[in-house]
């Protein structure tokens, strides 16, 4: 009598149904002799069906647990979002208030600085105008002096030349 290959019984050790690990059930020779090949194969098929049923039940339980976990996580995230949202709003309001205060303080300082700068510029402008007027008056005086110094000798030379020419003309 030829002994048949022992049937394979599949166990799922991880929740992923694609990651099956075959476990070979070695039935003893006595078991095959007492029950017969048909009954032993039927017993292995029954084990496989029970395994498939347990696997399906386990999948359903895991899906329910995950749905519960997901709902709790969503609830906690909403609570956390509300908590942090109120804290961020308070921080934003406080920052806005501080910026308004800072803007008011700097606004008055800038106005005072602007007025002081305008005053200093006006003073500088008046001083420059005074200095320029005095400088131009001095330059004008020196210019007139140089004019006389240049044109008087030139005019004397021209008059002398004219007198010389007239004297030459009357002698002839």
Res. 17: pLDDT tops 60? no
| CB contact set of 24 (below 8 Å; sequence gap of 6+) | 6, 8, 9
In terms of phi and psi (left: phi > 0; alpha: psi -120 to 50; beta: otherwise), the region of 99 is alpha
The pLDDT of 130-143, averaged and rounded, is 85
Neighbours of 40 (CB within 10 A): 19
The pLDDT of 20-31, averaged and rounded, is 56
The pLDDT of 90-116, averaged and rounded, is 89
Locus of tokens 């070695």: 26
DSSP 8-state assignment for residue 19: S
Res. 114: pLDDT tops 70? yes
139-162 residue pLDDT tens: 888 888 888 888 888 888 899 999
pLDDT at 26: 54
Q: How many helices (H) and strands (E) does the chain have?
A: 2, 2
Phi and psi at residue 20, to the nearest 5°: -85, 150
Give 71 or 34, the one with higher predicted confidence. 71
Query: From residue 89, how far is each of 83, 94, 95, 100, 158 by CA, in Å?
Result: 10, 9, 10, 17, 97
Res. 24: pLDDT tops 70? no
31-70 residue pLDDT tens: 777 778 888 778 778 888 888 899 899 999 999 999 999 9
The pTM for the full model equals 0.36
The pLDDT mean for the chain works out to: 82
* H-run or E-run covering 23: strand 21-24
The pLDDT of 98-104, averaged and rounded, is 90
């Amino acid at each position: 009598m030829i002994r048949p290959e022992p049937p394979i019984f599949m166990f799922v050790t991880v929740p992923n149904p694609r990651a099956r690990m075959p476990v070979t059930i070695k039935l003893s020779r006595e078991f095959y002799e007492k029950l017969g090949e048909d009954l032993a194969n039927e017993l292995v098929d029954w084990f496989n069906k029970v395994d498939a049923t347990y696997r399906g039940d386990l999948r359903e339980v895991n899906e329910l647990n995950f749905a519960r976990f997901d709902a709790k996580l969503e609830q906690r995230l909403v609570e956390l979002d509300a908590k942090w949202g109120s804290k961020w709003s308070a921080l934003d309001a406080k920052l806005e208030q501080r910026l308004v205060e800072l803007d008011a303080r700097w606004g008055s300082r800038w106005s005072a600085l602007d007025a002081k700068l305008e005053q200093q510029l006006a003073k500088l402008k008046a001083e420059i105008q005074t200095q320029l007027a005095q400088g131009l008056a001095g330059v004008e005086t020196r210019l007139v002096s140089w004019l006389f110094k240049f044109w008087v000798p030139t005019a004397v030379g021209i008059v002398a030349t004219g007198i010389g020419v007239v004297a030459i003309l009357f002698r002839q």
